[in-house]
Amino acid sequence: MTAPIRVLVVDDSALVRQVLVEVLGRDPGLLVVGTAPDPYVAREMIVTHRPDVLTLDLEMPRMDGLSFLAKLMQHHPLPVVVISSLTPRGSEEAMRAYELGAVEVLCKPGSAYSVAELAGVLGRTLRAAAAARIQPRIAATPTGAAPVKGVPRLLGRTTARMLALGASTGGTEALHAVMARLPGDTPGTVIVQHMPPLFTASFAKRLDGISAMTVAEARGGEELLPGLAFLAPGGHHLVVERSGAKYVLALRGGPQVQFQKPAVDVTFRSVAQAAGANAVGVVLTGMGRDGAEGLLAMRRTGAHTIAQDEATCVVYGMPKAAVELGAAVEVLPLEAIAAHAARRALAP
């Protein structure tokens, strides 16, 4: 019998701690080994109880969650799932938490999730986090001048190329690595990262700051042009439609797909229909199976398809599912994906 995943809950709110303990207590695969009201207590409990994964609040007394996360990932790296408030400040802090090494960021009950919804999301996330590859982090250093942006240009032909990227757990840093390496004249690009509403706007801004492409959160109605990349907004599915010689973006409602909204499968299937062999599709690190069926649909219409390899994934779930389906033409380490994708997307 497999031992349950050991969870430490760190939050200054007694009510939130109680809710999380009750939610996690319903899952036989999870065991809450303790709760802590602040990082100082958490530090002692980590040594005593040796948890497999932490849930971490960001706004706490004595030491804020981001400072604690930075110290933890440098000196005692553990999988961390941040529980954040769905506010503009919370979204900026969420992006910083990803940079510092958090496996995932979820919203507190009552912001984006009800308690019942959180139960399912948190259970799946903690399981993925416990299996994640966690590496010690070093203090960030300046990366130099901002990238020179490419100038969007009209292709004026019906065979325009495009690139589609999908990711989940661990995907914020994977997408950072890919987008930082893509040239500014990369064909129009769509990106799906599993992320709550509001967080995606901050993430798009972050990607824009490191990419030679111009990156923005999609609002619907945009034309895909070389040098432009659009991120699916949280809470909406993103689809690509053909309008004459153009690719145009649209947002869709509807239910979650593979427990996600936005879902990679929805976007990839639309890319397969709109672009066929003129597209390149990439599935990056993430839990679950979202994107595997969509990538297969793209491959069947002649698109070039890529899955991230197991060794460089934080969570080898989505790429593994794609590989097992035979959806990936290539399986590549993260550092090689941008070059291969750009070469294929820019091919005449």
Give the Cα separation of 78 and 33 in Å (integer): 15
Please, which residues bridge with residue 162 across strands? 279
The string of DSSP letters for 62-108 reads SS-HHHHHHHHHHHS---EEEEE-SSHHHHHHHHHHHHHT-SEEEEP
What are the tokens at 162? 């495009």
Residues ≥6 apart with Cβ < 8 Å to 180:
147, 210, 211, 338
**Is residue 168 among the annotated active site residues?**
yes
Give kind and range of the element (H or E) at residue 7.
strand 5-10
Please, which residues bridge with residue 263 across strands? none
Catalytic residue among 27, 176, 194, 309: 194
Please, which residues bridge with residue 83 across strands? 57, 106
Catalytic residue among 52, 290, 304, 309: 290
Give the Cα separation of 74 and 317 in Å (integer): 26
Catalytic residue among 84, 91, 168, 270: 168
**Is residue 194 among the annotated active site residues?**
yes
**Is residue 290 among the annotated active site residues?**
yes
Residues ≥6 apart with Cβ < 8 Å to 230:
188, 189, 190, 191, 215, 216, 217, 218, 222, 224, 238, 249
Give kind and range of the element (H or E) at residue 252.
strand 246-252
Catalytic residues: 168, 194, 290
